[in-house]
Amino acid sequence: MSTDTPGIDPLEALRAPRDPACDVFLTGPVFLDIIFTGLDSAPVRGTESWARGMGSSPGGVANMATALARLGLRTALAAAFGDDHYGEYCWDALEQGEGIDLSMSHTVPGWHSPVTVSMAYEGERTMVSHGHEAPAPAPVAGTSAGAAGTSAGAAGTSTGAAAPVFPQCPPRARAAIASLAPGRSEPWVATAARDGALVFGDVGWDETGRWDLDALPDLAHCEAFLPNAEEAMRYTRTDCPRAAAHALAERVPLAVVTLGAEGAYAVDGRSGTAAAVPAIEVEALDPTGAGDVFVAGFVTGTLADWPLADRLAFAGLTAALSVQEFGGSLSAPGWAEIAAWWQLIRTCDRQDPAALERYAFLDDLLPTTARVWPLRRAVPTIGFRQ
């Protein structure tokens, strides 16, 4: 990240000397995403399809880590990286290109990077993935704490005690993002919550078909739970996303239900406050990573202590901006993109003043110049020689 023109720090007014150095911690698998764009239709069996565009970028949990970092949050990621060229590329793109702290990540000798090929057409995507679960890192005597292995491209070690095995020892952080799955409990989640982190629970489709909230043990440690409408209704046995949000707010302090083209709805279980924000109409090119960007926007607003409706509006805006570009982590917007949108939308004819007022809180946040946060972002291909 460039140090000549620093980016916006949304938590600047709240920072104190004894605060944790890390704003958000997360962990999970990192994929190499290869995205084919400009397809007129889905590939047909027995034929060859040519795409008009292509991009490559770190994917998987890297989508959310990148979205958080581009919004100015100090982000730490613990992940396994293959020791192939793909892994080296992803490590460099995240650490050098996005400024993400990878000190708790490690490279696995002889393990190849998981790969996803995504084909975007008609506003949707079709994906094919391949990978193997990475072996757990073991404590290595003489390795710096939190880095049980060698970083991609650099075999740096320091003397000292054996490194703790992740994920039992996450760093102290303001927030952590946990991927909840039925029947699975991650010990680090309870540790993070006990150390003061606000835990935001993300969730995927329940392949077991049970849709039982009691099967998500780490939900008890969450400050917020962020399912989509279908997931929320199935978990709560309701037929209305808003009713589902209110039911979930009895289990977690903050229930946030994304409604796709209809926006999002949230309920603060402590105060009983509810907020609804409509979606921003955009031309969607590729929805890859939009959900991750939404979570990153909501986490940013929560840590900055914004009103609930502003958090929802900001999360929806960042997600809307991301679907107008191709790729997951490549499309995550930073403050410069948000500022450009805000400047443009106010000059468009026939804008509803009431709708614009919803985003008036941006005036106190955004840069006044067109580009104040230059990043050396991930190059949309692999292996260009310098």
pLDDT tens per residue across all 386 residues of the chain: 333 334 689 999 999 999 999 999 999 999 999 988 778 888 889 999 998 888 888 999 999 999 999 999 999 999 999 999 999 999 999 999 999 999 999 999 999 999 999 887 776 778 899 999 998 766 554 444 333 333 333 333 333 333 444 556 899 999 999 999 999 999 999 999 999 999 999 999 999 999 999 999 999 999 999 999 999 999 999 999 999 999 999 999 999 999 988 899 999 999 999 999 998 877 766 666 788 999 999 999 999 999 999 999 999 999 988 877 766 677 889 898 898 888 888 887 776 777 788 899 998 888 665 443 344 455 566 756 55
pLDDT for position 386: 53
Three-state secondary structure of the chain: CCCCCCCCCCCHHHCCCCCCCEEEEEECCEEEEEEEECCCCCCCCCCCCCCCEEEEEEEEHHHHHHHHHHCCCCEEEECEEECCHHHHHHHHHHHHHHCCECCCCEEECCCCCCEEEEEEECCEEEEEEECCCCCCCCCCCCCCCCCCCEECCECCCCCCCCCCCCCCCCCCEEEEEEEECCCCCCHHHHHHHHCCCEEEEEECCCCCCCCCHHHCHHHHHEEEECCEHHHHHHHHCCCCHHHHHHHHCCCCCEEEEECHHHCEEEEECCCCCEEEECCCCCCCCCCCCHHHHHHHHHHHHHHCCCCHHHHHHHHHHHHHHHCCCCCCHHHCCCHHHHHHHHHHHCCCCCCCHHHHHCCHHHHHCCCCCCCCCCCCCCCCCCCCCC
pLDDT for position 6: 47
pLDDT for position 53: 80
Q: Flag whether the pTM goes above 0.95.
A: no
pLDDT for position 326: 61
pLDDT for position 250: 97
